[in-house]
Chain A
């Protein structure tokens, strides 16, 4: 009888301790705009989450959260259910993130690609994807036979325009006759629209296809048509093994691990992060040997120079489409100019949709 009592007492205490522990456990939450299996944007964020988990920190995610009225509830639920740090990984979560942050001063929030940090517990972060675009431009300029590069663009926001410009500038450097043709699809993820756009660009003579959208459809169209292409967000090589020259990889893992550990250990501070090749937030997938060893070496050197700061994606002279000077000879564009970029450089065809 006595033993039984002791045993149950111990188990009750154990359970109690366990549940107290569970409440106090440090947890990180993630809000995704797409499904984790999109093989693009959300997939890479989820890879980052797995790295946090591997570092011994418990994580939770909610996928396919619409950027409308639902986002605020999901973010608030994560905050309410004991998550100490919450990453909201799409631009449309900017206002809801700041709104919830106001009500949960002890929870830390990290919003990707936004610019509002209304409260001291909100940080923003993004990656200098344009550095990767510079490398793509170099390869595209060397590899094209038709001097026409096809570019599938999502929305005319500064980030996308920056990518188009960085790519065009780098391509012009190695091939002055280059023309960039753009199709705006006004979506981040729509395999149907993206493949139509890729086909339209190929029909217009583009023999290089690149995308600022997240599905693998464009590279698959390029593979079929026998033209070159570049993967986006994750290594898409297995979807178009012959066509893909490389992919720009968004590697959020180191940042997520670093920020999660900082939040756990109490050293987290508000900041605005914009990391690139140097820090590894932008990484390149293995280069396709079909482009020749010399070109691979050139690109690897350029990658090193961009990372070390010896080269910059936006080095003057840079002209807009009308021939006005944007960046003087020898100067480089500052971050403020990059962040608000809303004009095309010379060599890009068409107008920015307004």
Chain B
């Protein structure tokens, strides 16, 4: 005799349009939940949401800042989508970003006071290679030594951070900088060109756009993309189809690392202009939210990166105008992910309420 009140069943028919609409639903639920939080904190919810989501982008400067913030997030998330689609859990994009920044920054310092159109491309390329090589560590360990890529990639973040710390405190610190933990400001030739006078938006955005286009091309138009998708659905099928799993795993990690490395280079040659200990406010981790919010789809990721970037800007404006605690930005990011995962669950499973029915045997 047993009493079964709730039963969870897998749904067979999940519509594609609803699959892409749930992120939108998650955002609306977040707005609603955020409104309630603001209300409990004693703020006018409508006004607070306005300062959070509208004021930051109500002028050109704000829009430019939004793009600056979204550029690295989008780029990293695009790279991560290759890994995640094929069931490879690269959690260490932050480390790959930092390592790419270190390599690119090292080259930029090498070219200190050096003019020439070739300087910036070399820096960008070296940063991408740096990130790529760093991402190959968990990939090779996974494919040849069966290690867990989640742990390895995550722990390597600390390795990269400590390496950066060591370099900016020690050998690379600015000789005229009173021992402060930062390098010299890079020369003009090593900086991303600014697109509009008075705004900070720089040429790095084109790298991101190219990456979005290439990722769409690879994922949907090439054999590699097909392999990635099949491996994501079922590793056994992939093996049965005769795909070389190891090569693919290394390639997706390389793509992912290169994107993160490019994001790092974009930050240091763009708005920052030097190496110091805080070149990334954890973009590598936030990009994981962006990738899933965008459904691992190139276009989805563009929108997701803009929305998540807005939560950062909004947290600042809301604090300036209403003195809302700044950590609400992180609460919003958490809520978006929570509602997305929650609605995903309901999308793929249905809950049956059976009532108080007695099963007598």
A residues adjacent to B (C-beta < 8 A): 29, 60-70, 72-74, 76-78, 80-81, 91-92, 95, 103, 115, 155-158, 186, 340, 342, 352-354
Contact = CB atoms under 8 A, between A and B. Distances in A.
Given A69-B267, A69-B272, A77 B179 contact: no
A70 B281 contact: yes
Given A115-B178, A155-B179, A67 B320 contact: no
Contact of A342 (B179, B198, B267, B317): B179
A64 B326 contact: yes
Contacts of B306: none
B65 to A, nearest CB: 5
A54 B280 CA distance: 37
A92 B278 contact: yes
Contacts of A65: 316
Interface string B162-200: 000100011000000011111001000000000000101
Given A73-B316, A81-B321, A66 B281 contact: yes
Given A68-B279, A91-B180, A156-B179, A186 B165 contact: yes
A77 B178 contact: no
Contacts of B227: none
Given A74-B316, A81-B320, A186 B169 contact: yes
Contacts of A69: 68, 267, 270-272
Given A68-B279, A77-B320, A342-B179, A155 B65 contact: no
A68 B179 contact: no
B276 interface: yes
A82 to B, nearest CB: 10
Contact of B326 (A63, A77, A81, A354): A63
B16 to A, nearest CB: 38
Interface of B: 61, 65, 68, 165, 169-170, 178-182, 185, 198, 200, 267, 270-273, 276-281, 312-313, 316-317, 319-321, 323, 325-327
15 contacts: A62-B319, A62-B320, A63-B319, A66-B278, A66-B281, A68-B267, A68-B280, A76-B61, A81-B321, A92-B276, A115-B178, A157-B180, A186-B165, A342-B179, A352-B179
A157 B179 contact: yes
B320 A155 contact: no
Contacts of B326: 62-64
Nearest to A73: B65
A95 B68 CA distance: 18
Contacts, number: 81
A353 B180 contact: no
Which residue, B68, B185, B319, B327, has most C-beta atoms of chain A within 10 A? B319
Nearest to B165: A186
Given A68-B279, A77-B316, 10 more contacts: A61-B319, A63-B326, A69-B68, A69-B270, A73-B200, A92-B182, A92-B276, A95-B185, A155-B169, A353-B169
A101 to B, nearest CB: 15
Given A68-B267, A77-B317, A115-B178, A61 B170 contact: no
Contacts of A60: 320, 323
Contacts of A29: 320
B319 A68 contact: no
Contacts of B327: 64
A282 B358 CA distance: 75
Given A64-B326, A157-B180, A78 B271 contact: no
B170 A354 contact: yes
A10 to B, nearest CB: 25
A291 B182 CA distance: 41
Contacts of B65: 73
A107 B170 CA distance: 37
Contacts of A63: 319, 325-326
Nearest to A80: B61
Contacts of B270: 69
A353 B167 CA distance: 11
A68 B276 contact: yes
